[in-house]
Every structure is written in C-alpha cells, then in structure tokens.
Amino acid sequence: MAKNLLAAGHSLTVFDLVEAACAAVAAEGASIAASAAEAAQGADVIISMLPAGKHVAGTFLGEDGLLAKVSSDTLILDASTIDAATARRVGEAAAELGIDFMDTPVSGGVAAAAAGTLAFMCGGSTESFARAKPILEGMGGAEKIFHAGPAGAGQVAKAANNMLAGSPYDRHFGGTGHGSRPRAGSGGTIRDHEGEFRQ
C-alpha cells in the first residue's frame, strides 16, 4: 500500500514497530520516523493500520494521542479492521477538534494490495470522504472506494463484506474518486487483526 502511494507521486514518512517493514518502504523513497508522533508531525494526511481497536484508541485518543498533536486541517484515514464502536469514538473525538477522520478498512487480499486495487469502505463525513478519495485511489480501485456513512460505518460495511464473502450473495463495494497528492502518512503493518487481508 505504501509503495503504491509512493509510485503515485506521494511523499511518505512512515513508522512501524517492525523495522524491516519500514526499510522496505524506505528503499522505495519513503522517510522513516522514530515514532507515530514523529511521522504525523506536519503531515497533511495520516494513514494508520493497526491490529485492534485498543491500538487505534491508544494511538489517537488522550493527552498523548495524535489527535492532541496534529493540526485541525489534517486528514486522518484509519485503515484498520476494528470494532465500529471504537471507530465512532475516535471519529467523534476528531470531529470535536475539527479534524477530518475516516475509518477506511480494506478488502481485496495481498494481491490487490500489491496491484493497488483494494476496496475501501469508508465511514465519516461527506467532506472527509471528498478529501479521502484522491488519496485512497493511490491504493485502491476507483470503482471500489465506497462511502458507507458516518464514523464507524466503514467498519460495519467491512463486517458485512466479510460475512458475505464466499457466500452465494458475495458483493463488492464501489465508488468513484480523483487523484491528489498527500504530503505524508504513517501507519502499521498492512494486515488486519488476524494477520492477513480478508475478502
């Protein structure tokens, strides 16, 4: 995902607890930060992907969370697959500070991640989605970027997608978007909480 953003012309500063993951992206032109806070400093766009809701809450909420450190014009896209309640809580906290936040869980598998054709199910305001679409198109198929509703709705749509996957009623979410240039992003591994992408 990060490599596709770089290939699309975006400038990235990355952080991951797994040093090898950072090194692989740095080899493609990204800068490496020593912490999530350092990666987020001065960024126009922050992209995170973390294992579980407790990690997302810990990263963004509280006195030491990123919401307390970033400017109000920052766009935050959390691509983690987590519980909708935590996504809503973080989204509401961001909104109180005037920060655009969207939960943007992904679907498509490792092959789609490499090919830049992931699906994104997005929860947040209409205005946040308009800002997010050009960024997400660097990692996903334009026809697969879907605004599901307010904060937390992306997680609900992802859960529904997981339930439908492999069933006779399997669906793919779609939408449209246009290209743009983010300044920087930060995030974790490109896995969901079970360690791999799921359809």
Q: Which residues are catalytic?
A: 158
Q: Which of 87, 125, 92 is nearest to 105 (CA)?
A: 87
Size of the chain, expressed as the number of residues it contains:
199
Q: Copy the structure tokens of residue 22.
A: 């950072």
Is the separation of the CB atoms in 118 and 105 below 8 Å?
no
Q: Copy the structure tokens of residue 106.
A: 């992904």
Rounded Cα distance, 87 and 152, in Å: 5
Phi, psi of 14 (to 5 degrees): -120, 155
Helix axes 153-164, 84-96, angle to 10 degrees: 160
Rounded Cα distance, 123 and 149, in Å: 5
Alpha helices in the chain (DSSP H): 2-7, 19-26, 36-40, 53-60, 84-96, 109-115, 126-136, 153-164
Give strand pairing partners of 96. none
